[in-house]
Amino acid sequence: MGFNNDGVSSMVERLKKRPKGLIIGGNIGKNKVTPNEEAANDYVYCFEELYDHVDYITVNVSSPNTPGLRDLQNESFLVPLFEKLDAIRKKRNIFKPIFLKIAPDFQPAELKNLVSVIKKLPIQGIIATNTTISRDKLEASEKLIQEIGSGGLSGKPLFEASTSIQSNLYRAIGADIPIIGVGGIFTVEEANKKIKRGARLIQIYTGFVYKGPWVVKSIIDGLKFED
């Protein structure tokens, strides 16, 4: 499936019209047809085009919907890429944060390796996590799951896996790099679990589909009364 959109130029034109004061982040990744050996070029191009029109930029190397993208979650790709992005940023008049968005499907040893890489990157936050390739939490029949096919699964079935990755990240990194918790947040209780396990901020995606925009107010109001 890849990142279906009208392209970065169309995005820039829309972003020029955004309401004043509205905070927007740019989420960048490689094109579906771009081989991994040339992936850095896509990230650099999108970064340069979007930089002046967003408030922060997320480097997405974890979407399972773009073939080969998750193979880029390694030191040989991430360190030189972030060096290039940071060099571009230093030439701009305004400093803007760069976040790294990671997958929820790491084994402990794999996550340990990623943590060692993250500590070498000039980033201001980690988004934990993207969607999952696991189908373990689904109640649908195996036949239906096979018919639906591959791709990233979001929503409630993602909550435990994403929160576990987030917790392990926080234990390994501490408060040095802020963690943005995302994955399966529908209620104030789920939001609070993310925060208690090290998230400095939270993001909601699928919750909007099932709960509507008022889910934001209900969570914020509820968090005010949590211990």
Per-residue pLDDT tens over the stretch 163-176: 999 999 999 999 99
pLDDT at residue 41, as a whole number: 97
Catalytic residues: 63
pLDDT reported for residue 86: 98
Average pLDDT (64-86) is: 90
Q: Average pLDDT for residues 36-58, to the nearest whole number? A: 97
Q: Are 175 and 199 a contacting pair, CB within 8 Å?
A: no
Q: Which residues contact 35 (CB under 8 A, 6 or more apart)?
A: 68
Q: What is the predicted pLDDT for the residue at 225? A: 56
Half-sphere exposure for 93 (CA within 13 Å, toward CB): 2
pLDDT score of 226 more than 60? no
Bridge partner residues of 56 (DSSP): 25
Give the C-alpha separation, 19 to 12, whole Å: 14
CA distance 78 to 99: 12
Phi then psi for 168, rounded to 5 degrees? -65, -35
pLDDT tops 80 at residue 194: yes
pLDDT at 157 over 60: yes
% the chain with pLDDT above 70: 97
DSSP H stretches of helix in 38-74 = 39-50
The answer to whether residue 75 scores a pLDDT higher than 90 is: yes
Domains, the chain, with CATH or none:
8-223 (3.20.20.70)
Task: Specify the pLDDT at position 69.
Answer: 75
What's the rounded mean pLDDT across residues 79-86? 98
Task: Report the pLDDT value the prediction gives residue 1, as an integer from 0 to 100.
Answer: 64
Mean pLDDT (the chain) is 93
- Residue 227 pLDDT > 80: no
Across 108-114, average pLDDT? 92
- The per-residue pLDDT for 137 is 86
The answer to whether the bond into 206 is cis (omega within 30° of 0) is: no
Q: Residue 39: pLDDT band by 50, 70, 90 thresholds?
A: very high
Q: Average pLDDT of 20-30?
A: 94
Distance CA 11, CA 15 (A): 6
